[in-house]
Structure 1
Amino acid sequence: MNQTIATEYADIVVIGAGLSGIGVAKHLTEAFPGKEFLLLEARAAVGGTWDLFRYPGIRSDDSVHTYGYDFKPWLHKEAIAGGDLIRGYIQETVEEFGLDKILRLGHRVTAADWSSEDALWTLQVTVTDEAGTETQKTIRAGFVFSGTGYYKYDEGFEPRFEGRDDFQGDILHPQHWPEDYDYSGKRVVIIGSGATAVTMLPAMLNGEGAAAHVTMLQRTPSYVASMPRVDKIAQFFLAVFGKKLGYRLTRFKNIWRDHFLVSVLVKFPNFGRKLLRSLTAKELPGFDVDTHFAPPYSPWDQRLCATPDGDFFQAIREHDADVVTDQVERFTEKGILLKSGRTLEADIIVTATGLVMQMLGGIQPTVDGTPVKVSDSVLYRGSLISGVPNWAMMLGFTKATWTLRIRNVARLAIEVIREMDRKGYDIALPVAPEGMPTTPLFDLSAGYMQRAQADLPRQGTGLPWQMHTTFVKDNRLFKGRLVHDDIHFAKRTATAPRLVSVEAAS
């Protein structure tokens, strides 16, 4: 039977020590130096996605000058950077801003229950120590910020493939890549056409221990575009203007460049299709681009896949890799039988078939004993959940760098908490207007988003219940005062002291 640890209290709890959670925690602790904080992370290390994913070549698919924090310059030469560099950057941030003092690793929140009488969240937490021993802890908090990401860490999406048990080789999902897995000299088939597949294909062919051949098997093509691994303009800015100003100029340049490119591709989809196909054709002369790189959807209906310095195209040109556009009929002992009748022989099959979306890290909050159905809720400025008091969440952009939203979302939480402190309130409850029309939260046609559509919260069609999918447009929604009358403030009704038992953090 698991041991139970005494209750701990914090004014504000941030759940999740990935890039988003740590960024928000920095802003909140800076705004409220007198409050008690806890930063809870289920895993044994910080980093979130960048600690979880360890598949070959794991890297950013965007410039880390923009993907990184606005308050901490990215100083590595590589703009498109490997997971190890990003993990190091996140760890540096924790130490540099003193967040290690409030960090609790191995703390998985399993339940969250709100009491309006006490104006407190009660979090049930499973604590796992270095030896793997689990204990149970209760944490009571006045305000919760969820920085848990948007997908399940313990489950990737894998379609059911007939004959899976017949295959004599290894079947691996990138989300659960075995440590030090040896694929040297092996024939690899990667099922999928997204960013993970585009990353893994060239990586598995590089250096000592490379695979013999890699095939990317895709049902539907994606748009793939080459990006420079090193941003020479960023290097110039940093050298001439110094770390802080050079970094700010680089972010400004990247934000507006990306916004311009996305706007053009979305507004002129036919031009976008022709442009991206022509660029691919130049990278792959003589290759059947119209079959393998001509998606049936418009650019930015799904995210573009980036290939740093065209390494994906280079692998295909050098005949160490190829792309097959077909559908799986079944797995066989030696590989995959396709619906066309062709067989792909393989020693290893990688199912890079996507993510399983999940809000709030799988936590289902209750409010005064009633379970919250997140799919029935509407998000206030894409962060506060209607009907859920004293809780904010981080959601980023689909058509811009996800993390560009961190500062604005943190600012919203700060303004709400300051309003409560200023007027002596204990409760801040977002209440959506009755009968307000709503729309889906995300605007991409990616499979993992479409599969989860019925489980996601929604947004309104106007302020303050709206968010945009690009930074430039969404940033305009965060001008001026952020607290609107649709946030209902109140005082707790209990007269008893809020704290019953408090244990100092060990």
Structure 2
Amino acid sequence: MSQHHFEVLIIGAGVSGIGMACHLKRECPGKTFAILERRQSLGGTWDLFRYPGIRSDSDMFTFGYNFRPWTGGKVLADGASIKNYVQETAQENDVARHIRYGLAVKTADWSGVDQCWTLTAEKEVSGEVATFTANFLIGCTGYYNYDQGYKPDFPGESDFKGQIVHPQHWPEDLDYAGKKVVVIGSGATAITLVPTMAEKAAHVTMLQRSPTYLMPLPSTDKVSLFLQKVLPARVAYRITRARNIAISRFLFQRSRKSPNTMRRLFLGIIKRQVDGKADMRHFTPDYNPWDQRLCVVKDGDLFRALKADKASIATDRIEQFTETGIRLTSGEELAADIIVPAIGLDIQMLGGIRPRVDGEEVAMRDKVIYKSVMVEGVPNAGMIFGYTNISWTLKVDIAAEYLCRLMNLMDQRGIHTVVARDTENSRGDDTILGSLNAGYIRRADDRLPRQGTKGPWKSTQNYLEDVKILRFEPIEDGYLEFDGIRSHASDRAPSGFLRPLRSALFGA
């Protein structure tokens, strides 16, 4: 058994882990660190998913890291391009050599006596066990199970004579040319798969239990391309990034404040897109905008496939699978050679690791999250968790910056331990994912940590507010204990309104 010690251990080499490591190199240049990655390649989501048409569901000008601009005019990038961007970022910032591949972390134990974390990780190829110790632990594993996606046991599933293919485990050699395909689901994966597969398949049917709000978005940003021609590249990037953040925030906030108005807006846009060639009942959800995520339709490709009769939508429930397809509760039967259940993720925190503090297992459901970056009562540990209503990476950057600020303060003052304490019993009922009521979130209620009802325990999902809190407000706010002593709230106020706003829109 080999053993290694680092000042910081990062679990996961996806978008979050690479972002955290880059900020460490830039802001804590003297620290030793390693990234433990279970897979044989970096990229996380963008290495795992290989289904046709896999792409970003957020615009790349806000999805890219704030320290490395996404260039070009492409708004929605394909999975391979995103993985390449993350890989180049890791190489340019000299973090690629710090990744230890093929290591599945099995245990994570904090010792108050030793004031450090001990992790055991198994090399999946050989079965050899390695032990790592660290002063600080940062989880960058996302929030879903990489081993399996969610799939219920459908009635009659064993009777189906065709192929059932889950998007999370897409076969490289799957041939769907000239075949009838049914994609079950109406989320981002289904919205991407249907028009892409329709290019080769005989016909693709999207079977949904209920509709989703859709928004067509061009894959190329002509305004950004123009700005890149007339302005320095970094200036053009900052302007485009600021504009896209502002638009995303506006759509989300207006959906919360005036749901009926935004409902009419979104449905009006879709009505023009389908141009009378599809029943609007398939596009009219029974919930308010942004109660679930808004799905982006690249260049309106789904609507084109529907109008060309290459694809269709069925809104119904499954009665059972048959030998040749799916029978719906309405009695209609959908013929299929291939069925793709694109019906959500299996939520999993910290890659399935169950951390222990002084021998006691941390039950995430019983914990509240501090500033969305630390788990209450868990010492010397951070968690990078992105946004659900705008680009994930916007939160990655500012959360990583905060953790670097925290570790630098501890080093400057010779502090060994830090832990967030909820002495006011602020725990609420909402999970860290907020008020979204998607099925995959409801199914994971027993696994997700909670957010509080007030103060730093409440997750706002508001980028501008989080920039103020994480980038500018003092570390010592009265909620953190340093070496067992509760910090006193600093009297130093945030640096006004304009500086956080300017920083949020145009970068640090």
- For normalisation by structure 1, the TM-score amounts to 0.93
Match of 2:319 among 329, 333, 340: 329
User: In the alignment, does 2:28 pair up with 1:36?
Assistant: no
Give the equivalent residue in structure 2 for 1:105.
101
Which ranges of structure 2 fall in alignment gaps of 5 or more residues? 486-508
User: In the alignment, does 2:7 pair up with 1:11?
Assistant: yes
Give the equivalent residue in structure 1 for 2:503.
none
Give the equivalent residue in structure 1 for 2:401.
411
Q: 2:423 & 2:188 partners in 1: Cα distance?
A: 39
Give the equivalent residue in structure 2 for 1:124.
120
Q: 1:483 & 1:399 partners in 2: Cα distance?
A: 29
Match of 2:56 among 60, 64, 81: 60
CA contact (8 A) 2:373 2:382 kept: yes
Match of 2:457 among 465, 470, 487: 465
Measured against aligned partners, the alpha-carbon deviations of 1:27-56 in whole angstroms (never above 9, x if no partner) come to 112222212110111111010000000011
CA contact (8 A) 2:426 2:457 kept: no
Match of 2:479 among 472, 486, 492: 486
Measured against aligned partners, the alpha-carbon deviations of 1:429-462 in whole angstroms (never above 9, x if no partner) come to 1111143242412210111111112321111222
Match of 2:211 among 205, 216, 221: 221
Please show how residues 226-305 of structure 1 align to structure 2 within 5 Å.
226-305=216-295
Aligned-partner residue type, residue 222 of structure 2: K
User: In the alignment, does 2:366 pair up with 1:376?
Assistant: yes
Moved more, 406-415 or 215-224: 406-415
Aligned-partner residue type, residue 353 of structure 1: I
CA contact (8 A) 1:70 1:248 kept: no
Q: 1:181 & 1:460 partners in 2: Cα distance?
A: 46
Measured against aligned partners, the alpha-carbon deviations of 1:321-362 in whole angstroms (never above 9, x if no partner) come to 000000000000000000000100000000001001111111
Give the equivalent residue in structure 1 for 2:180.
187
Q: 1:469 & 1:180 partners in 2: Cα distance?
A: 40
User: In the alignment, does 2:310 pair up with 1:317?
Assistant: no
* Pairwise CA distance, 1:292: 0.3
Q: 2:197 & 2:390 partners in 1: Cα distance?
A: 28
Query: Considering only aligned residues, what root-mean-square deviation do their CA atoms show, in Å?
Result: 1.4
Given the superposition, is the C-alpha separation of residues 271 and 449 from structure 1 closer, same or farther in structure 2, using an over 3 Å criterion?
Answer: same
User: In the alignment, does 2:472 pair up with 1:476?
Assistant: no
Moved more, 23-32 or 86-95: 23-32
CA contact (8 A) 2:368 2:427 kept: no
- Secondary structure of 1:475's counterpart equals helix
Aligned-partner residue type, residue 283 of structure 2: F
Moved more, 144-153 or 465-474: 465-474
Aligned-partner residue type, residue 113 of structure 1: D
Please show how residues 85-164 of structure 1 align to structure 2 within 5 Å.
85-128=81-124, 132-164=125-157
- Secondary structure of 2:181's counterpart equals strand
Aligned-partner residue type, residue 356 of structure 1: D
Give the equivalent residue in structure 1 for 2:381.
391
User: In the alignment, does 2:347 pair up with 1:357?
Assistant: yes
- Secondary structure of 2:128's counterpart equals strand
Aligned residue pairs, count = 482
Q: 2:425 & 2:92 partners in 1: Cα distance?
A: 47
Measured against aligned partners, the alpha-carbon deviations of 1:258-308 in whole angstroms (never above 9, x if no partner) come to 111222222111111111111111111224543100000001111111111
* Pairwise CA distance, 1:473: 3.2
CA contact (8 A) 1:123 1:140 kept: yes
Match of 1:452 among 441, 444, 455: 444
Moved more, 300-309 or 417-426: 417-426
Aligned-partner residue type, residue 122 of structure 1: T
User: In the alignment, does 2:161 pair up with 1:165?
Assistant: no
Q: 2:70 & 2:474 partners in 1: Cα distance?
A: 31
Q: Alignment identity in percent?
A: 44
CA contact (8 A) 1:169 1:348 kept: yes
CA contact (8 A) 1:431 1:488 kept: yes
Q: 2:278 & 2:87 partners in 1: Cα distance?
A: 44
CA contact (8 A) 2:39 2:101 kept: yes
